[in-house]
Amino acid sequence: MLNLKMIAICLYIVVIYWISTHIPSLHSLFFPTIGAFSLLFISKPFSKVELGKIAFGAIVSSVIGTIIVYLHPGVISLFINTIIVITLITKLKWNAPPILAVSFVPFFVQPTFIWAIPLSVCGALLGLLLTLYAVHLIESKWGALPFFAKSADRMESEKAA
């Protein structure tokens, strides 16, 4: 069953895709892993700190991938990028596989300027987090309306998180 978060995420992904196809300089704004982050963020309750850590990890990994590709594109660079990002994910307990995928984007997309991908990742994830926050506010304010009704069990599990 679709809930408000799922509908909001789907609309957000469509808007990001539309923007990226109509404004050439923002082409890298839409990256397929935004769908993975969306599903990850709505699949289980996260604290604001955890969501922030995951978004920060994604931005850092996209910067790492961008710098490595800029210095020397190629297979060895991809290998080094993968080792660095996996090490960061495990050491810093980011616990979000899409973070690794975001670090690969610079290897497959040649942006018009070097920081386009990290800025796109930052902007897209910030928009995603703001979308989820807006949905949270709507659900907490109008949760009693039939369309937004939550079961008592679901409300308790979200409060526990």
Burial label for 106, CB within 10 Å (0-12, 13-18, 19+), is: buried
Highest mean pLDDT among 1-15, 27-41, 95-109: 95-109
Instruction: Give per-residue pLDDT as tens, 6-28.
Output: 999 999 999 988 888 888 777 76
What's the angle, vertex CA 117, arms to CA 26 and CA 62, rounded to 5?
155
pLDDT at 156 over 90: no
Please state, in angstroms and rounded to a whole number, the distance separating the CA atoms of residues 7 and 141: 18
Task: Kindly state the average pLDDT of the residues 120-130.
Answer: 92
Task: Kindly state the average pLDDT of the residues 91-120.
Answer: 89
Give Cα 38 to chain centroid, integer Å. 6
Report the predicted TM-score, pTM, of the whole model to 2 decimal places.
0.81
Burial label for 62, CB within 10 Å (0-12, 13-18, 19+), is: buried
pLDDT at residue 161, as a whole number: 53
pLDDT at 66 over 60: yes
Cβ neighbours of residue 101 closer than 8 Å, sequence gap 6 or more: 32, 33, 36
pLDDT at residue 95, as a whole number: 82
Higher pLDDT, 118 or 26: 118
Helix axes 33-43, 48-71, angle to 10 degrees: 160
DSSP string covering 112-133: SSTTHHHHHHHHHHHHHHHHHH
Burial 22-44 (b: 16+ CB within 10 A, else e): eeeebbbbbbebbebbbebbbee
Q: What count of other Cβ atoms lies within 10 Å of the Cβ of residue 135?
A: 20
Higher pLDDT, 111 or 155: 111
In angstroms and rounded to an integer, the radius of gyration of the C-alpha atoms of the chain is 17
